Structure 1
Amino acid sequence: MSEEVKPAPAPAQNPQQQVQIPVDVTNRETVYANFVQAHLNADEVYLELGTFSQVVTPAGPDPITLTHRVIMNFVTAKRLADLLKRAVAQHEQMFGVVELDPNRRLRVPQQQRPNGM
């Protein structure tokens, strides 16, 4: 009679304990940015944030004003990229595609033009 060999049960693993870390927002600043550029090195991503008025005068276009620099490691950058991807996808589901090409974005679709145009 052969006896069936059963593997030994795996040692009980401690379930990952969730830790709640408080978030202090007392010094939070709110800024508006419609311009971003990124610089990379081996360890970090540098995001330069600012505003661009898109105003063009006879003297030339208004300059882009960079007001904030955010420096993050690539783990945080990947988390931010994932969060932004999901936020844009949700927005597009509700309101339609966000057009990146400024020439296409400024065009008014035929059916939305006022009468007489």
Structure 2
Amino acid sequence: MDESKIPIQPQTATGVQPGQQVQIPVDASNRETVYVNFFQAHMSNDELFLDLAAFPGLVGTTPEAIALTHRLVMNFYTAKRLGELLRAAVARHEQVFGALELDVNRRMRTPPQRPAGT
């Protein structure tokens, strides 16, 4: 897929026939990359808010505050597309590397299991 253009099917656009795809240019020259291992989700009637951070882990006896660094705001149509993409990506990863255990206590007790046939 060409990342410099994104295909869409506009619902209403001057000079575009119904069902016709339009290529919209994508400019990634100012894209930033951040590492995220913590998030909080909030929502309103119209939008989903994801606050993101890189949690340094527990160091010493006094936990450090988690510094939220970025906020994503999206409508629920975009949130649903993102959710479907993330589900598919995790399923593909688990097919290759085995199930991801979310409970950290169980993860520490049980070594990762490789899928059958690998």
TM-score, normalised with respect to structure 1: 0.76
Any stretches of 5+ residues in structure 2 without a counterpart? 1-16, 112-118
Amino acid at match of 1:82: E
Q: How far 1:21 sits from its partner (Å)? A: 0.9
**The structure with more radius of gyration:** 1
Amino acid at match of 2:66: I
Give yes or no for the alignment of 1:37 onto 2:58: no
Within 5 A, what are the aligned runs for 1:1-40? 16-40=19-43
Of 78, 81, 90, the residue aligned with 1:79 is: 81
Whole-angstrom CA distance in 2 between matches of 1:36 and 1:25:
24
Any stretches of 5+ residues in structure 1 without a counterpart? 1-13, 110-117
Deviation track 1:1-52 (CA, whole Å, cap 9, x = no partner) reads: xxxxxxxxxxxxx661111111100110000000011001000000000011
Identity %: 61
Q: How far 1:55 sits from its partner (Å)? A: 2.1
User: What is the count of residue pairs matched by the alignment?
Assistant: 96
RMSD: 1.7
Residue equivalent to 2:4: none
Q: How far 1:104 sits from its partner (Å)? A: 1.2
